[in-house]
A and B are shown apart, each in its own frame.
Chain A
């Protein structure tokens, strides 16, 4: 199953080149972990896949089920089935979390009125997943990320992924700011999503989440290039030796 394919991706922001020929696949029913030190290009890769305008693709391609996404704006990519949980999502005063999810579902279903709940099971689903994520139902009526704690923001991003049912889920540091119980919870949900056949790109600095969920593929990006790609043993290597070692070993010519 092809899922999401990134091929020889070269990206710049204004005059700075940030990705240099990234190639990787995120297959359905798998977890592909992207690791790397701060500023290595992990989030940039996610933003480029999602079509953020300031990220200019110079060369290469991004495909979903074999179809190039490069000419599609962000919202079209979302409607095709790509979802990104942001590392630090912005506050949106005045818009409730439930309003956003209902609008996103209606848009996906092609309903012209984005505000009405046509299928009550959507609300049930929101409540169910909120409970699973240890989020109070009240959070659905709160304005998006306004006054949310760090943990609530992370779980709210995951809640949207569960409710919106995308094909590909990109999670940018879903474990940062979570306590150990929170990390375990996220890991369990990732396992469920994988079992449902979702393609999951999991961006993280640390391997601590891999104690609870094993990635199928691990790619380490350093300075915008792939340093090493392999199985879960790559994450163990990072954890054991650190990024300085990876840089020295895999970029040494």
Chain B
């Protein structure tokens, strides 16, 4: 309880964004949207997944409360509010107003332990928004030499509501993790999302992300390659639909020697949508002979759309195996259009192909068994 009160104080004291969060000290997130919803009451009803996602059979659902059904062998699920031995925000830290807000207000949480050496084919976790504020906190501990495939469906319905979701994942030594994250929101929904992943010695993580929608979505995936020979392969697809705004960050921080990281993102902006697609690859001084690459490409299809691709590469050691970055923001330029038309395709087909291509980049849609364009059916 004392801890909670401390967070309430921090909501007042901390800024929405720390200086240095971006090299340009620019605000890519429209924090006013969050500010205007901080006083929302807790939701009294939770959203329902759209039809095309209803075929997924969730094992763990976080809405107004926590529900767990058909949990596979090798997975232990506990109500985080009742687990005393783990401390939420231990990995995430509390450095900004929204983190403090989440830490103070989150109402539903799950502690998920994947036991050592177990092999989990598919663990489906669903986080639902509601008609007011909902805060979900998930801690996932993937045991040593375990092999886990996890799907996280994060959905926000048609209310002018607010959701905060923070996950803190640890891939222990020699474990293998594949995680698909779908974050899908209606136009009025606001979301503050942070996914933290700590990758230990010789552990390997494949992270796939697909985001779309929200009046303001702040999505951050922070991946710490902590262990020696740890590996990360992270790919994201972002679709800024008309009247939606997304500030997306995909980061890899290397602390483990000989760690390998790749982070890539593809985005499309439709109508008057807004997408800031940022990525940081950072190699710390202790991560000798690490390799890291960051890529970010955004295509603006809407005439009034805005898009930014901001990749950053920071290297604090002289011994690097490989480091590189690339980025582009393109509109459908005449030369693109001509090129694809010269293959027999018209503008509508080209646009559909660009949207589908950007969505397929992360392979989340195929992994969930949905058609890429079904995300427009919410």
- Among A47-55, A62-70, A121-129, the stretch that binds chain B is A47-55
A73 to B348, CA, bound (A): 14
Question: Taking chain A's interface residues, is the majority helix, strand, or loop, or is none over half, making it mixed?
Answer: mixed
B-side contacts of A99, CB under 8 Å: 353, 356-357
Residue B268 interfacial (CB < 8 Å): yes
Interface membership of A184, Cβ < 8 A: no
The reply to whether the CB of A236 lies closer than 8 angstroms to some CB of chain B is no
Cβ-based interface call for B322 (8 A): no
Query: A93 CA to B340 CA in the complex, in Å?
Result: 13
Q: Which residue of B lies closest to A164 (CB)?
A: B343
| C-alpha spacing A100/B356, complex, angstroms | 12
Residue of B nearest to A82 (CB): B342
| Shortest distance between the CB of B348 and any CB in chain A (Å) | 11
In the complex, which residue of chain B has the Cβ closest to the Cβ of A100? Answer: B343
**Distance to closest chain B CB from A122 (angstroms):** 14
Q: Are B343 and A78 in contact (CB under 8 A)?
A: yes
Q: How many residues of B contact A (CB 8 A)?
A: 28
Contact B340 A92 (CB under 8 A): yes
Cβ-defined partner of A104 (8 Å) among B266, B334, B344, B360: B344
Q: Which residues of A contact B24 (CB under 8 A)?
A: none
Shortest Cβ gap from B377 to chain A (Å): 17
Q: Interface residue tally of chain A, by bracket?
A: 35 or more
User: Of the 9-residue stretches A1-9, A83-91, A211-219, A224-232, which lies at the interface with chain B?
Assistant: A83-91
CB of A42 to closest CB in B, whole Å = 17
Chain A residues near B326 (CB-CB < 8 A): 147
Known: A78-B344, A104-B344. A94 touches B297 (CB 8 A): yes
Is the CB–CB distance between B338 and A74 below 8 Å? yes
A234 on the B face (CB < 8 A):
no
Collect the chain B residues with CB atoms within 8 Å of residue A133's CB.
none
**Per-residue CB proximity of A80-121 to B under 8 Å, as 1/0?**
000110100111111110011001100110000011000000
- Whole-angstrom distance between the alpha carbons of A107 and B344 in the complex? 7
Please give the distance in Å from A140's CB to the nearest CB on chain B.
14
Interface set of A (CB-CB < 8 Å, partner B):
47, 50, 52-54, 73-75, 77-79, 83-84, 86, 89-96, 99-100, 103-104, 107-108, 114-115, 143, 146-147, 160, 164
User: Which residues from chain B sit less than 8 Å from chain A, CB to CB?
Assistant: 266, 268, 297, 299, 326, 328, 330, 333-336, 338-346, 349, 353-354, 356-358, 360-361
| Apart from the given pairs A77-B342, A114-B353, 4 other A-B contacts in the complex at a CB distance below 8 Å | A78-B344, A93-B330, A94-B266, A104-B345
